[in-house]
Amino acid sequence: MRLTKAFIPTLKELPADAQVASHKLLVRAGFIRQLSAGIYSVLPLAQRSILTITEIVREEMNRIGAQEFYLPALNPREIWEESGRWSVMGDNMFRLKDRKGADLCLAMTHEEIFTVLARAEVRSYRQLPQTWYQIQTKFRDEPRPKSGLLRVRQFTMKDSYSFDLGKEGLDKSFEDHRQAYVKIFTRCGLKTVQVDAHSGAMGGSGSTEFMVRTDAGEDLIASCEACGYAANTEKARSKIETPDAYAAADGVQLPLEEFATPGVVTIEALQRQPYGVGAKRQLKTLVYMADGKPVIAIVRGDDSLNEAKLQTATGANEVRPAHAEEIPPLMGAKPGSLGGVGLGEKSASGAVRVFLDERLAGLSGMVTGANKDGFHLKNVSITRDLSHAKIVDLRSVVEGEGCPNCGKPLQVGKSLEVGHIFKLGTRYSASMGANILGEDGKETPIVMGSYGIGVERILAAAVELHNDADGIRWPMSIAPYHVAILPLQMQDADVRAAAEKLYAELTAAGVEALLDDRDERAGVKFKDADLIGLPLRIAVGKKGLAEGKVEWKPRTPGSQVELVAIADVLAKVKAAVAEGGGKIR
């Protein structure tokens, strides 16, 4: 491609609203343009890279025996009602009506539709296993679209689904996908971390996320360098510390005692005199609604409740904090004076479940709200006074806490999810009637897995990992072109001719080359080449040409300009492309 004919609208200034590197550089280098919040037009450079990424994904999916489909993005409400997710997806789902008034949605994912196909067409165990996939546009009414391609409302996903007879088959399909994902991300130039993850609205028995460590990410992962443990903080655990001596012994035999705390409605306020109750001795009581039913969550005063863990504990499809007006009728008091003591299995409005963080198990001498405005209780014994609570993992881990496996300090850092694989089990097949006849002639639900990759996220993650002050540094494997050819003096006929000949030879050999044939100063060409970030830069100038050489410079950290004989350029380029995982077309 000649730059004079290409549509590459580079910008001199950074976009004012961009915060992360990939957003800044993909806009400035002419890869994307925003149409509206969370909706982007993909321009030619980005499209070339995206097509290469999808080719890599397709190759690795085909390698594990997956078969490619292309399903409708426009789905009828009835299918999503069958799985129970029409309401679960809430405001995240785009919904519409057709001219006859029928409810439709724009699919966020395709578990339901693939399950319908399996239900209709797969009837016997002899037809299993099956692995089906597609690379297709998905839609999500993202409440906070931002960061360019990282949080959008329309995106491309590779979603695949495995169908097996039993758990053993699912385990194999899950492992096949795990290995395929490792190859895909490695080929795309991404270093990923595999972490235990929360399954959320997808359901199922377990899931693994593939994360890229970057400050541009919004997920937090806890990891241990010593033993390799890694988990999203929605699932991560830490080694439970030995209880404080005062909490373990003080007040074990003392009766509950109510004391006045007028105006005290925060953990911090109760720490101050005249009360002096440390956060570690306080029970933080929070009221949530789980699928519309109230639940109580209790964590230590200095801990934070992890909502994903509460969702897992309750088994609910959706959890949310109770609204202020919902709490007094349930608890008898306003937030700040709440507690689980005496709640038992009943509250003022009926049954309520109480969940207690495992870190609190066995402690005594604790302080909690009395469910009476302006009053608290002291001498609380977890074993005696909260025996009705279910003990589960509820808290978010904190940097420096002990690894649950080896006890060494955990690190907590930001990361970006680029892939997620789920063991769905019979979550969808059972609710939607996707059964098969087993070897014994009896009907049994198909055992399923679901596996997703965000295509544009791979593109953005690559930029997050591979950039510098001058622009993008594309991995060879997914770069829009392999090499930029820069004739430095366009007015010189010999320079033009040499650049044209080199461009023709490389193109004929299957190398993807971009010829900067603009009548611009050398400095402008160098700056644009660095900004766009093609892996190789070949500059043709009068001085080097007099010796039969051109300037060779890889777009990698620390690389220096090297003079290379023109006769050696083709072989050197082909070797560099192969070494970087690119393809000669």
Q: Which part of the chain has CATH 3.90.960.10? A: 245-392
Q: What does each of the 585 residues of the chain score in pLDDT, given as a tens digit? A: 999 999 999 998 888 889 999 999 999 999 999 999 999 999 999 999 999 999 999 999 999 999 999 999 999 999 999 999 998 898 999 999 999 999 999 999 999 999 999 999 999 999 999 999 999 999 999 988 989 999 999 999 999 999 999 999 999 999 999 999 999 999 999 999 999 877 655 555 678 999 999 999 989 999 999 999 999 998 899 998 766 544 444 445 699 999 999 999 999 999 999 999 999 999 999 999 998 899 999 999 999 999 999 998 998 888 999 999 999 999 999 999 999 998 865 544 456 899 999 999 999 999 999 999 999 999 999 999 999 999 999 999 999 999 999 999 999 999 999 999 999 999 999 999 999 999 999 999 999 999 999 999 999 999 999 999 999 999 999 999 999 999 999 999 999 999 999 999 999 999 999 999 999 999 999 999 999 999 999 999 999 999 999 999 999 998 999 999 999 999 999 999 999 999 998
Measured at the CA of 335, the angle between CA 329 and CA 341, to 5 degrees, comes to 75
- Residue 349's pLDDT is 47
Q: What pTM did the predictor assign?
A: 0.88
User: Per-residue b/e over 228-255, b at no fewer than 16 CB within 10 Å?
Assistant: ebbbbbbbbbbebeebeeebeeebeeee
CATH architecture for the domain at 21-72+107-236+412-464: 2-Layer Sandwich (3.30)
User: How far, CA to CA in Å, does 469 sit from each of 473, 533, 557?
Assistant: 10, 11, 11
Return d(Cα 387, Cα 5) in angstroms, integer.
Answer: 75
Residues forming CATH 3.30.930.10 domain(s) in the chain? 21-72+107-236+412-464
Collapse the DSSP code of 443 into the 3-class scheme (helix H, G, I; strand E, B; otherwise coil) and give the result.
Answer: strand
Which pLDDT does position 348 carry in this prediction? 45
Rounded Cα gap, residues 276 and 246, in angstroms = 14
Judge whether 497 and 489 are in contact, CB under 8 Å: no
**Cβ–Cβ < 8 Å for 56, 184:** yes
At residue 186, the 3 state secondary structure works out as helix
DSSP H/E element including 171: helix 167-187
Pair of tokens at residue 54: 């999808």
User: What does the pLDDT read at residue 88?
Assistant: 86
Render pLDDT for 561-579 as a digit per residue (tens, 0 to 9).
999 999 999 999 999 999 9
Give the pLDDT confidence score for residue 241 in this predicted structure. Answer: 75
| Euclidean distance between CA atoms 268 and 369, whole angstroms | 14
Q: What kind of fold does domain 476-579 have according to CATH?
A: Rossmann fold (3.40.50)
Q: Which CATH class is domain 245-392?
A: alpha beta
- Are residues 332 and 371 in contact, defined by beta-carbon separation less than 8 angstroms? yes
Q: Which of 423, 447, 446 is nearest to 124 (CA)?
A: 446
Integer angstrom CA distances of residue 501 from 10, 481, 496, 497 = 27, 18, 9, 6
pLDDT confidence of residue 198: 73
Token pair 């440390």 is found at: 278
pLDDT digits (tens, 9 = 90+) for 116-147: 999 999 999 999 999 999 999 999 999 889 89
Q: What pLDDT score was predicted for residue 245?
A: 46
Structure tokens at 573: 């380029």
Residue range(s) of every CATH 3.40.50.800 domain in the chain: 476-579
CA-atom Rg of the chain in angstroms: 29
From first CA to last CA, the distance across the chain in angstroms is 14
Indicate left, alpha or beta for 372 from its phi (over 0: left) and psi (-120 to 50: alpha).
beta
* 3 state SS of 170: helix
